[in-house]
Amino acid sequence: MCPVATNLADLVMSRCDELAACSEDSGCITRRFLTAPMQEVHDRLGGWMRQAGLQIRVDNGGNLIGRRHSEGATRTLIVGSHLDTVPGGGRYDGVLGVLLGLAVAENLSESQLPFHLDIIGFSEEEGVRYSKPYLGSSAVAGVFLPEWLERVDDQGVTMREAIAGFGLDPDNIATAAYSREEVVGYVEAHLEQGPVLEDAGAPLGVVSGIAGQSRLRLEFRGEAGHAGTTPMLDRCDALAMAAEFVGEVRSLGRQTAGLRATVGRVEVTPNATNVIPGRVELSLDVRHVEDSVREQAVNDLLVAGKRIVNAVNGSFVLLERTAQQAVKVDGNMSELLAKSISRCGHEPLQLVSGAGHDAVVMAQRFPIAMLFLRHPGGVSHHPDERVERDDVAVAIEVMSQFATRLAETFASGRHI
Ligand SMILES: [Zn+2]
């Protein structure tokens, strides 16, 4: 391992510790959109960026941006992730990707790049304060909708007031957007938040796509009745139907490669010990990197639900169905990331992201690529979240390599 990368990795680890202290709650890490602890993060991180020679600014979406300026360049490579957390979150989710970007800028030191390198700390990805995720990246990608400004947090503060209170202009969020032409691409490094890299013994992996997601609310309707007097063969038990359905969800998930299918919420009515359940509402979450596979799975499960209720004369109602399409990564940039991993002596593993990231929104306007870091224990959105210092060092080397090789493609006129 290169000693410079190891030293920078130590710095990233200690900076993650320092930023973890910027929290709304003492004893755990909670940092929501444009709260006082976020200002503290901006002060500390902005100071480190300035020390590294970056030009810093905060855009009207509340994103902190540090630019490694390249004389004469007209285009920009963006590296970033988010600075907010869930309540009681971990110290690496989001923040790690921003600090890795800064470490890469520090590692490249004097070398000339034919593009600016912008390190962005997005203001909000988790969607906790205003029940709306990806606020920061939506501003940068130019897809922020003005009506979101009227949303109210649990203290009655509108988003408009929160932005103005941070010294920014809510009526000019559009100025935060980068044009499609000026951006070379967006690269995000993030904890895997899963076990794939750890099981494979690999420090890093390249994301091959971000899974699309279907979310449904379903209802099984049966007939409530006395638990003691209704004979078993005369029953139309909504929970028994729902239980059979959950079994179908699990078996389809197991049989279909790459599918994730989950019933995570069940509401039983009347939910009493001595009454046969008359009604059960449940959630269904289905994800796959191929939209057609996901849609087929949802349709198959709806057919299964109908079949289950038909057998007992119950009914099965689709209450709500929403979907988010899968996100494609940029082939050239992802290949360059994979080559950079190989060059650093590691197997360039490919894996699907089952979770959403700022890259989902950035992909609406820019080419994107994502790098995942091994996540020991896979625990995320939790204080026990961990990452290995040595994996962070490899990530710094790989991302620096990536930027240098991307610069070479510019020099040869083969740029993306
Ligand atoms: Zn995250």
Q: Is the dihedral of CA 261, 267, 268, 273 positive or negative?
A: positive
Ligand 1 centroid distance, CA of 27 (Å): 21
CA distance 214 to 372: 24
CA distance 28 to 21: 9
Quick check: 136 and 146 in contact, CB under 8 A?
no
Ligand 1 centroid distance, CA of 124 (Å): 10
Ligand 1 centroid distance, CA of 311 (Å): 44
Ligand 1 centroid distance, CA of 355 (Å): 9
Q: Give pLDDT < 50 ranges for the chain.
A: none
In this structure, how many other beta carbons lie within 10 angstroms of the beta carbon of residue 381?
Answer: 15
Ligand 1 centroid distance, CA of 83 (Å): 9
Ligand 1 centroid distance, CA of 396 (Å): 18
Query: Phi and psi for 285 in degrees, rounded to 5?
Result: -120, 120
DSSP 30-86: ---TT-HHHHHHHHHHHHHHHHTT-EEEE-TTS-EEEEE--TT---EEEEEEE----
Axis crossing angle, helix 331-343 with helix 389-411, rounded to the nearest 10: 120
Quick check: 325 and 250 in contact, CB under 8 A?
no
Q: Is the dihedral of CA 403, 404, 408, 411 positive or negative?
A: positive
Ligand 1 centroid distance, CA of 220 (Å): 35
Determine the pLDDT at residue 380.
Answer: 82
Ligand 1 centroid distance, CA of 266 (Å): 27
Distances in Å between the alpha carbon of 7 and those of 1, 189, 393? 10, 19, 8
SS3 for 201?
coil
Question: Cα 109–121–135 angle (5° rounding)?
Answer: 155
Determine the pLDDT at residue 403.
Answer: 97
Ligand 1 centroid distance, CA of 38 (Å): 16
Ligand 1 centroid distance, CA of 163 (Å): 22
Pair of tokens at residue 56: 């810093």
Ligand 1 centroid distance, CA of 43 (Å): 21
Give start and end residues of each alpha helix (H) in 72-148: 95-108, 135-141
In this structure, how many other beta carbons lie within 10 angstroms of the beta carbon of residue 355?
Answer: 17
Ligand 1 centroid distance, CA of 97 (Å): 9
Ligand 1 centroid distance, CA of 182 (Å): 25
Ligand 1 centroid distance, CA of 190 (Å): 7
Q: What is the pTM of this model?
A: 0.89
CA distance 30 to 40: 13
Ligand 1 centroid distance, CA of 94 (Å): 4
Quick check: 354 and 287 in contact, CB under 8 A?
yes
Ligand 1 centroid distance, CA of 92 (Å): 8
Ligand 1 centroid distance, CA of 242 (Å): 33
Ligand 1 centroid distance, CA of 150 (Å): 25
pLDDT in tens, 364-401: 999 999 999 999 988 888 888 999 999 999 999 999 99
Determine the pLDDT at residue 215.
Answer: 94
Any idea which architecture 212-324 has in CATH?
Answer: 2-Layer Sandwich (3.30)
Ligand 1 centroid distance, CA of 99 (Å): 13
Ligand 1 centroid distance, CA of 349 (Å): 20
Beta strands 225-226 and 368-373, pairing class: unpaired
Quick check: 44 and 56 in contact, CB under 8 A?
no
Ligand 1 centroid distance, CA of 75 (Å): 26
Ligand 1 centroid distance, CA of 33 (Å): 14
pLDDT in tens, 11-28: 999 999 999 999 999 889
Ligand 1 centroid distance, CA of 359 (Å): 10
Ligand 1 centroid distance, CA of 389 (Å): 19
Domain boundaries, the chain: 3-210+326-411, 212-324
> How many CA atoms within 13 Å lie on the side-chain side of 148?
19
Ligand 1 centroid distance, CA of 380 (Å): 9
Distances in Å between the alpha carbon of 49 and those of 44, 55, 65? 9, 8, 9
- Topology match between the domains 3-210+326-411 and 212-324: no
CA distance 249 to 295: 14
Ligand 1 centroid distance, CA of 292 (Å): 26
- Of the candidate CATH numbers 3.40.630.10, 3.50.50.60, 3.40.350.10, 3.50.40.10, the domain formed by 3-210+326-411 belongs to 3.40.630.10
Ligand 1 centroid distance, CA of 333 (Å): 21
